[in-house]
Amino acid sequence: MTRDIRKIIDDWNYAPDTVTTRLITGDDGREKVQLRLDLGLLQMELEGRPDGQTIQGAESLLTHHQIRQREHDAANPDGLPYLLESEDCTELMREGVQYYHRYICFWQLERYELCARDTNRNLDLFRFVREHARYDRDKVQFDQWRPYVTMMHARAVATPLVELQQWEAAIGAIDAGIRGVEGFLSDYGQVDQAERMSELVFLKRWRRELVRKAAPESEEDDSDDDPVAQVKSDLEKAIEEERYEDAAQLRDELKRLENPPPPTGHGGPQ
């Protein structure tokens, strides 16, 4: 049997500007998700760890540490807390990236319930590291992704509700996401940066759109509070005044606000 994957990817082109993914049925009869990369592909299980591995009988490394933490606390009720060393965090980070790759595929495939499951799992990972990592630098390395994953979780929960026109439930899911991002800003003393937090801007703008759909008779104009509307206005003015360098920067800013990307960085568990 050949080990060359060329026949698998020859008729499946890589698109650098989108998430190129598909569902396939494996040789074991189970559904799997594939993510096309420029030099090949990733294949992931739909349940458990994306790579299909278990860790000492636990579903994942995170679950393994959670079990150990509960056992430690039960055996040492008055002792030192359970601590994650930097090496533990490195391994948890690597595992978190697997779940990130899988949930962006689920989002692209409109498997929203699975996207919500995996984003919630990574949020649980961030909480666990915040509570148990020995060093603050490890906590921050994980927690920097919290606003993005919080936003994606809110989108995964709210989108099918929007499709069903269940406006109240959808707005409730978005509100939970807004509170989550605002909690992040509060935790790091950055509440004054709310208008610059693209994930928060996106969720608040989406919420306003749904409120208008739920109550179309409302004539309230909140465009003055919308950073996206302000950037669009600034962009139009820059084009009119032929300030093309400013216009290019404003286009980038508009893109960032309308569809927030994951934070820049190498290897983070988005």
Q: What is the pLDDT of residues 162-196, one digit of tens each?
A: 999 999 999 999 999 999 999 999 999 999 999 88
Whether residues 154 and 216 share a domain: the answer is yes
25 and 111 fall within a common domain:
yes
Please report whether residue 12 resides in a domain: yes
Residue 270 lies in a domain: no
pLDDT at 217 exceeding the cut of 70? no
The first and second tokens of residue 27, run together, are 């040789």
Residue 120 or 80, more confident: 120
Backbone angles phi, psi at 39, to 5 degrees: -115, 20
Residue 268 covered by a domain = no
Query: Is the domain of 39 the same as that of 133?
Result: yes
Looking at the fold, whether 1 and 120 belong to one and the same domain comes out as: yes
Q: Which helix (H) or strand (E) is 137 found in, with range?
A: helix 136-143
Instruction: Note the pTM of the prediction, 2 decimals.
Output: 0.84
In 230-240, which positions are buried (b, 16+ CB within 10 angstroms) versus exposed (e)? ebbebbeebee
Question: Looking up tokens 């509440």, which residue turns up?
Answer: 191
Q: Are residues 151 and 136 in the same domain?
A: no
Confirm whether 164 is domain-assigned.
Answer: yes
Residue 244: its pLDDT value, please?
66
Q: Is the pLDDT of residue 58 over 90?
A: yes
Q: In what order do the strands lie in the sheet with 31-37?
A: 21-25, 31-37, 40-45
Q: Are residues 178 and 197 in the same domain?
A: yes
128/182 same-domain check: no
Statement to judge: residues 117 and 150 lie in one domain:
no
Pair (182, 53) in one structural domain: no
Confirm whether 5 is domain-assigned: yes
Give me the domain span that covers residue 181. 145-220
